[in-house]
Amino acid sequence: MPERRTVALVTLGCARNEVDSEELAGRLEADGWQLVEDAEEADVAVVNTCGFVEAAKKDSVDALLEANDLKGHGRTQAVVAVGCMAERYGKELAEALPEADGVLGFDDYADISDRLQTILNGGIHAPHTPRDRRKLLPISPAERQESAASVALPGHGPTDLPEGVAPASGPRAPLRRRLDGSPVASVKLASGCDRRCSFCAIPSFRGSFISRRPSDVLNETRWLAEQGVKEIMLVSENNTSYGKDLGDIRLLESLLPELADVDGIERVRVSYLQPAEMRPGLIDVLTSTPKVAPYFDLSFQHSAPDVLRAMRRFGDTDRFLELLDTIRSKAPEAGVRSNFIVGFPGESEADLAELERFLNHARLDAIGVFGYSDEEGTEAATYENKLDEDVVAERLARVSRLAEELVSQRAEERVGSTVRVLVESVDEEEGVYGRAAHQAPETDGQVLLTSGEGLSVGRMVDAKVVGTEGVDLVAEPLRGSLGWSEEADR
């Protein structure tokens, strides 16, 4: 009997990429590949790259080179690039990085097994010439669903796995294979984006916005719950647009309570919300539905009107503060995070001061700050009035210091409050860590529990916040909460 082919998936970038990797894993396992965790133990190392900004692209190249170094020293025979960077640059990446034995675009995902086997056998799969994927679907969102079947949409795979791959789950198992045992998993709501922010290239290689059908999202959530998942995080390039191509822009408001009712799911989190598209009904559902986290990942990017207009975005400091006031009037303990770009072309000192005014009043739980850099193919790359790199670096450092101070202050405001914590790690030496409703995975800090007695990964526990460590909280579990065993209560 021939030895099984082995493959390792190395994932960089955002949670959307993690979902795509698990779809690729499902396809490969269904075709007989054995999934291994370490690239050095794999015949083929597949690197799911990120192509968002220069730093992410560099990390992707470094990961490909690191995997390439394994060849000749272990089992690894081939290194293959997939993901956003591979889709965005295709043939250009293959020519610039001969260490990669293959560069596969999104159109190759449905045939990933054959592609890897060809490369493993020493064959060559010609890399694609990149194209603007926004042109693959009709301009009108209402006309897209019928065309979607002919377009590769990572994370939108069939809802049924071949027989025998996930027998315990029956016919609703998605084309997905979990790559870790975390009690948290992302679920893709949609792909692509119809917004035209002047600094962002994502729509050109991810395509126009298209929603997944609610039944597929529900079935995948049920399957994840059967795998032990307790929290799902809904991801896409823009969750506030969900349903517009299905004829119902308010579809998210009706879907969220259904997801929260799935047996085994303890928390539903929504990420990637556009401030300009927030509506009262969505705020109401996010702040009042049991098991739906009152969590607002709002993409502000800046608050100075002139900078926002140059970014092709809307709003200003006062409008954004009004939105936050509305949210907190309904859920005072709601979590809010956002990202900001400083040093955008034409940004004045007055614009920067306006951003600082907003940050000082917004009471955000987590803040990401990035210095502007040109992204090829974007409108902003053609702008005049570019700031010197030294000026951008100084402003990045200045706002980052302010952000660090403000999120620490916001954490201190939570001392004395009660938070519901999902336990994510239990270690005798490191302690017990988890996340509260206002903290998304990996980006927003965590909670250190002062006692782990009776607790295990995946349990929910109510705890009183007794201290802070920067953005992180220190909390004491409350006896009698759901996370405690009967032995602990005694």
Q: What is the DSSP string of 92-129?
A: HHHHH-TT-SEE--GGGGGGHHHHHHHHHTT---PPPP
CA distance 186 to 55: 23
Any alpha helices (H) in 235-368, and if so which ranges? 251-260, 280-288, 305-310, 317-330, 349-362
Nearest to 287 by CA among 333, 350, 351: 333
For the record, the structure tokens of 127 come out as 């890399």
- In angstroms, the CA 472 to CA 443 distance is 11
200 is in an annotated binding site: yes
Ligand-binding site membership of 84 (annotated): yes
285 among the known binding-site residues?
no
Q: Bin 170: left if φ > 0, else alpha if -120 < ψ < 50, else beta.
A: left
Q: Which of 484, 472, 409 is nearest to 435 (CA)?
A: 472
Region for residue 57 given its phi and psi (left: phi exceeds 0; alpha: psi -120 to 50; beta: otherwise) = alpha
Rg, the chain, Cα only: 23
Show the tokens assigned to 76. Answer: 């690894």
β 102-103/78-82 pair status = parallel
C-alpha neighbours within 13 Å on the C-beta side of residue 371: 16
Q: What DSSP state is assigned to residue 165? A: S
10 Å Cβ neighbour count for 376?
Answer: 8
H/E segment holding residue 206: helix 202-206
Which of 289, 290, 363 is closest to 323 using CA atoms?
A: 363
Which segments are annotated as binding site for [4Fe-4S] cluster?
14, 50, 84, 193, 197, 200
> What are the binding residues?
14, 50, 84, 193, 197, 200
